[in-house]
């Protein structure tokens, strides 16, 4: 959907839970930690899935059709967004044009600060279970051992691989403040967060 079509989202994860894969994913998380400043730490889910979509009221609006809205270009690097603050007006539709110029996988997620905090442990679980690696997406969905589906398909969030781009169109209907964040382990703590301010009409 919003993710660059560089992979098959239905790709099988068979063998991802082997001891070798668990060791590899642990090493990958350690490498990310070493790439971050000394302040970097790493940091989960709703009852049935990723749980980071939030209610549209909390997100101050709703998804808009792809390609609609005033363009706002945002470049992601390791580990920052090119804009530290994005200001829009209530009633305005914004077309976020997102590109990843970094060397690792990054997330663009519009949400509340509290939802971001809940989302970070889930992203760590996605890496632990092989859904994502430091630089690519393996699958956006998987079935957990207890039968629940874990997904990363919410319209307010997108994962972007290095050298790829993506878009999110969002209609902001209510004034307030949100955050743009990358909840991949260690990235927020490394400084990858921006402010999103929606001013009254």
At residue 57 the predicted structure's pLDDT band, cuts being 50, 70 and 90, is confident
Predicted confidence at residue 54, as pLDDT, reads 52
| Token digits of residue 24 | 């590899």
Q: pLDDT tens for residues 70-98?
A: 999 999 999 999 999 999 999 999 999 99
Highest mean pLDDT among 41-45, 98-102, 128-132, 142-146: 98-102
pLDDT exceeds 60 at position 38: no
Mean pLDDT of 116-120: 93
CB 44 within 8 A of CB 148: no
The residue among 104 and 50 whose pLDDT is bigger is 104
Rounded to 5 degrees, φ, ψ at 187 are -75, -45
Phi-psi region of 139 (alpha: psi -120 to 50; beta: other; left: phi over 0): beta
The rounded distance, in Å, linking the Cα atoms of 124 and 132 is 9
Mean pLDDT of 138-148: 83
pLDDT exceeds 90 at position 170: yes
At residue 152 the predicted structure's pLDDT band, cuts being 50, 70 and 90, is confident
SS3 of the chain: the string is CCCCCCCCCCCCCCCCCCHHHHHHHHHHHHHHHHHCCCCCCCCCCECCECCCCCCCCCCCEEECCCCCCEEEEEEEECCEECCCEEEEECCCEEEEEEEECCCCCEEEEEECHHHHHHHHHHHHHHHHCCCECCCCECCCEEECCCCCEEECCCCCEEEECCCCEEEEEEEECCCEEEEEECCCCCCCCCCCEEEEEEECC
Between CA 149 and CA 153, with CA 151 as vertex, the angle to 5 degrees is 145
| pTM for this prediction | 0.73
């Amino acid at each position: 959907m919003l993710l660059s079509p560089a992979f098959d989202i239905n790709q099988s994860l068979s063998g991802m839970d082997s001891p070798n894969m668990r060791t590899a994913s642990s090493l990958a998380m350690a490498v990310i930690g070493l790439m971050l400043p000394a302040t970097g730490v790493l940091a989960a889910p709703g009852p049935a899935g990723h749980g980071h979509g939030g209610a549209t009221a909390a997100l101050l609006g709703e998804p808009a059709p792809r390609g609609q809205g005033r363009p706002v270009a945002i470049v992601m690097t390791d580990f920052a967004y090119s804009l530290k603050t994005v200001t829009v007006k209530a009633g305005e539709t914004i077309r976020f044009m997102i590109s990843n110029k970094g060397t690792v996988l990054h997330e663009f997620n519009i949400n509340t600060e509290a939802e971001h905090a809940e989302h970070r442990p889930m992203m760590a679980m996605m890496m632990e279970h092989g859904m994502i690696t430091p630089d690519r997406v393996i699958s956006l969905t998987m079935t957990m051992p207890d039968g629940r589906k874990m997904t990363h398909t919410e319209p307010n969030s997108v994962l972007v691989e290095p050298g790829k781009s993506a878009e999110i169109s969002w209609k902001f209907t209510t004034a307030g403040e949100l955050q743009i964040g990358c909840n991949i382990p260690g990235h927020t703590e490394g400084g990858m967060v921006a402010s999103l301010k929606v001013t009254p009409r």
